[in-house]
Amino acid sequence: MAKVTLEELRKLRENKKNEIHKRELEGKEIEIIVGMGTCGIAAGAKDALDAFLGQIDANGLKNVIVKQTGCMGFCNYEPTIEVRVPGMPATIYNRVNAEVARRIVAEHIIDKKLVSEYVFDKPSIDIINQK
């Protein structure tokens, strides 16, 4: 890869900026939140993040925001990822490896169907007890 300078980065981005600005005003973004604590990292959360970004790029999806957070408290079920698609329930997926991440993009984000077998439905006991 040829060396990219900050100046070139700015130019590459310039072209798309108006588009982004418009979208931010609309507030209709799809959000992907990756748990990136010690537990998530050890379980391969970065592979999942890379797979999401690769698949979003490959499908030319334009309205996706990717965020990271620390440990979500489900260390045993890492990597855990929350997906928020407008019009669908906010969903936490567990044990998301690269393959599952690609399925989430294709099935949840594009086809608007949950990837049921990876939906996380067992919150950690120590977190429930706090309430």
Partner 1 sequence: MQLSIADYLIDIVQNSIEAQASLILLDIVEDSAALCVCIGDNGCGMDEKKLQRVRDPFFTDGIKHSHRKVGLGIPFLVQSVEATGGTFDISSKEGEGTSLSFTMNFSSIDCPPFGDLPGAFRSLMIFDGEYELAIMHKRENKSYSVTRSELRDALGSLNDAESLKLMGDFFTSQEEELLLEA
**Three-state secondary structure call for residue 83:** strand
Q: Which part of the chain contacts partner 1 (CB under 8 A), choosing from 35-43, 78-86, 93-101, 115-123?
A: 35-43
Residue 110 found at the interface with partner 1 (CB under 8 A)? no
Nearer to partner 1, 48 or 115 (CB): 48
Q: Distance between CA atoms of 120 and 91, rounded to whole angstroms?
A: 8
SS3 content of the chain, % helix, strand, coil (to 5): 50, 15, 35
Q: Distance between CA atoms of 14 and 20, rounded to whole angstroms?
A: 10
Q: Distance between CA atoms of 55 and 106, rounded to whole angstroms?
A: 8
Q: How far is the CB of 34 from partner 1 (least distance, A)?
A: 9
Residue 13 found at the interface with partner 1 (CB under 8 A)? yes
Q: Binders of partner 1 among 38-57, rule CB under 8 A?
A: 38, 41-42, 46, 49-50, 52-53, 56-57
Residue 22 found at the interface with partner 1 (CB under 8 A)? no
Exposed / middle / buried, residue 14 (Cβ in 10 Å: 0-12, 13-18, 19+): exposed
Per CB under 8 A, residues contacting partner 1 are 1-4, 6-7, 9-10, 12-13, 16-17, 20, 24, 36-38, 41-42, 46, 49-50, 52-53, 56-57, 61-62, 64-71, 73, 126-127, 129-130
